Amino acid sequence: MALRKGAEHDKSRPRLFVYSLGLVFQRRVRRILKAHGWQLKFGLPLRDGDAVAVWGRKKTAKRGMAVANHFKRRLITVEDAFLRSVLTGRQNAPSMGIVTDHTGIYFDTEVPSDIDDWLEKSTKLTLDEVTYAAQMVTYMRHLKLSKYNNFTRHNVEICDDFILVVDQTLRDAAIEKGAAGPDTFADMLSRAKLENPDKKILIKTHPETTAGKRLGHFTEHDCDDQVSLLSAQISPWELFEKANKIYCVTSQVGLEAIFAGHKPIVFGRPFYAGLGLTDDRGSARKKPLKCTAEQLFWATHLQYSKWYDPYFDRATEFQSAVRNLHAQSQQHQDSKQPSICLGMRLWKRGFLRQFLSTEHTTPRFVSSAEQAAQLAQKANGRVLAWAGKVTSDLVQQCKAKDVPLVRIEDGFLRSVGLGAQLVAPVSLAFDDQGIYYDPTDQSRLETLLNQSDTLTDMDLARANHIRDRVIALKMTKYNLKANAVTINAAKGQKIILVPGQVEDDASILKGASKVKTNLELLKAARADFPNDYIVYKPHPDVLAGLRIGMIQPNDTAQYADQIVDNGSMAELLDQVDHIATITSLTGFEALIRGKSVTCYGQPFYSGWGLTDDRAAKIKRRKAEVSLSALVHATLIAYPRYWDPITGDACPVEVVLERFERGELQKRGPASIRILAKIQGLFASYAYLWR
């Protein structure tokens, strides 16, 4: 029945005919068009309602334009959206969105286009619509996203108060259709020098020029004591913060400069000129309307652009597209520096290669600390090791070679199933300062929490949404199936959960204070909550006899009212009032659910004003952190997520939906062991063919 409905839906889609190989072979573009309601077809548009698609205004578009004209059919011009990808199209990076223009195309300002209609409509927005557009501009600016996003994470020294001149690629259709040419760029640079004789001029090269895919208008021959080429991969938003003026022809950088609060000096005739937002030096036509930056953004990014969710193959809204693009950009930036991985078990190497590879780099796996440090120094890379396996020798080797040491650990929403069962994680934390469970030293998570006052309202709203989803889905770190739990407390009696831990676990060894064992924890809980109902849940590994931490039954019965051997932690947390723990992650999961927590040790979530702390306060933890900020740091900013279906970096929202759909489930033990070993074996030697 569902299939028959699907077929009927497909028949109702308007047919879109294409006549260029670019549209035929660009799978992502086909998927986006389908997600937004089109059937891509080959042949002739013979039916009423058929349309013809062309890409931009390239020479190949003439075939489609001729067919549309002959059969009197609509012509749909397709182009990349204003936020595209991490790498460029010529580097085979798929786009996060497109524009489909039924009238013309935005960069061809010689004739009308749909963007003109959206700009006119933007002048009649409600206050709520303007406010939302302003929020989205701030969000994009906060994440430093641009059309292409292959930016470096390393600080690049740039002088203050400089003049930014924006280059474009040779023979770009946007230049010709924007009433400009090569002479325009020469004139722009001359005017910039003449008008700013005492300021440094930086020429921003186009990302495709930086990648060696296309030539620009400026070269080293245009440089002198005042003028320099800026080929470093820096987000335009960082340039806007220090630039005094922006000079451009028709570049999208000029559009983004408007959103950054600049009034760019424009020498061509881009669609965003003539609206009162630019200093027009070219032949920009005066438009019969004036726009604010928020109205312009509403037209370009929220209406004209069509956004796509590559994880679930569907149309999506701008905010989701931004999150997805940011996740992929972060992964790419994090992995650009070569990674030398030390002491990784074979089965882990496959998923680590996914997390750590880019178009030019793939991790290498070695077994010696000395070799790891030497290779990292030679490759200008970094050494990565599982946090629990980092030795003093490795630390010293990295210091001696002056190479970064990054500790790896599972994220807080890891998988459905245990790592001991060779279930690959969907999240990992890569910490270049320490590791979250070790309070004896600074960690990246601690730094994020200390900086939580920089979070925007949208950051906090996103964290609240994630928190609500985790609670509704009853998610925990491993999401193991377990029996339902019935707690036998008297009506009105306060219920205290005491989660057992592995007593030689690193979080206990590093984060315990006076209370160091499970028995001591039970005694402390009974002393502090003498009249309450105490539920003790042993750690599964301890219960199985695999790890240290067993309490004798008589001792447990002396201090606990009930023992829960095998129960769902999420359901258990729903029933209790308070948690007493040393450093267990259960305390964090309880905080998310609005429960109060007493900490006898120093876990990562203590010391921020959210818990009842019985151990000494860590002086480094200076901030008063809200629960929303804690969720943002731990579930959004600190870990990196990987989609198990597409194999791409993703935001946490994708992992939550995969869990809801049952798509994080582990495969059978035999198959995953064999596949994991084979994958790890090939990943070990991937550097040979990358």
The CATH number that applies at residue 671 is 3.40.50
Q: Assess if residue 483 is contained within a domain.
A: yes
**Which tokens go with 366?**
């070695």
Q: Assess if residue 40 is contained within a domain.
A: no
Shared domain for 618 and 679, answered yes or no, is: no
- pLDDT at position 307 over 90: yes
Name the E strands within 107-225: 162-166, 201-204
Shared domain for 487 and 591, answered yes or no, is: yes
Shared domain for 286 and 239, answered yes or no, is: yes
C-alpha–C-alpha distance, residues 641 and 655, integer Å:
7
φ/ψ (deg, to 5) at 40:
-80, 130
Q: Residue 79: what residue type?
A: E
Q: Assess if residue 153 is contained within a domain.
A: yes
pTM of the model: 0.91
| Side-chain half-sphere CA neighbours of 661 within 13 A | 12
Q: What pLDDT was estimated at residue 414?
A: 82
Shared domain for 527 and 621, answered yes or no, is: yes
Shared domain for 483 and 557, answered yes or no, is: yes
Shared domain for 531 and 630, answered yes or no, is: yes
Alpha carbon distances (Å) from 470 to 137, 174, 332 = 28, 46, 27
Q: Which residues contact 552 (CB under 8 A, 6 or more apart)?
A: none
- pLDDT at position 669 over 50: no
Shared domain for 657 and 632, answered yes or no, is: no
Shared domain for 633 and 669, answered yes or no, is: no
**Which tokens go with 341?**
């991985």
C-alpha–C-alpha distance, residues 397 and 638, integer Å:
26
Q: What torsion do the CA atoms of 650, 651, 652, 658 make, to the nearest 10 degrees?
A: -40
Shared domain for 431 and 550, answered yes or no, is: no
Residues 464, 503 contacting (CB under 8 angstroms): no
- pLDDT at position 3 over 70: no
C-alpha–C-alpha distance, residues 377 and 676, integer Å:
30
Q: Are strands 495-499 and 427-431 parallel, antiparallel or unpaired?
A: unpaired
Q: What torsion do the CA atoms of 195, 240, 228, 272 make, to the nearest 10 degrees?
A: -60
Q: Assess if residue 75 is contained within a domain.
A: no
Handedness of CA 230, 234, 237, 243 (dihedral sign): negative
- pLDDT at position 690 over 50: no
User: How many structural domains are present in the chain?
Assistant: 3
Shared domain for 675 and 631, answered yes or no, is: no
- pLDDT at position 643 over 70: yes
Q: Assess if residue 324 is contained within a domain.
A: no
Shared domain for 618 and 674, answered yes or no, is: no
pLDDT tens digits for range 31-64:
999 999 999 999 999 999 999 999 999 888 999 9
pLDDT tens digits for range 139-167:
999 999 999 999 987 677 888 999 999 99
Shared domain for 542 and 673, answered yes or no, is: no
Angle of helix 652-661 relative to helix 457-473, nearest 10 degrees, comes to 20
Q: What is the largest CA-CA distance in the chain?
A: 90
Q: What pLDDT was estimated at residue 313?
A: 97
**Which tokens go with 620?**
């480094």
CATH number of the domain bearing residue 173: 3.40.50.2000
Q: What is the DSSP letter of 449?
A: H
Give the domain extent around 235: 148-291
Q: Assess if residue 126 is contained within a domain.
A: no
Percentage of the chain surpassing pLDDT 70? 92
Q: Assess if residue 573 is contained within a domain.
A: yes
- Of the candidate ranges 214-218, 283-287, 391-395, 679-683, the one whose mean pLDDT is the lowest: 679-683
Q: Assess if residue 160 is contained within a domain.
A: yes
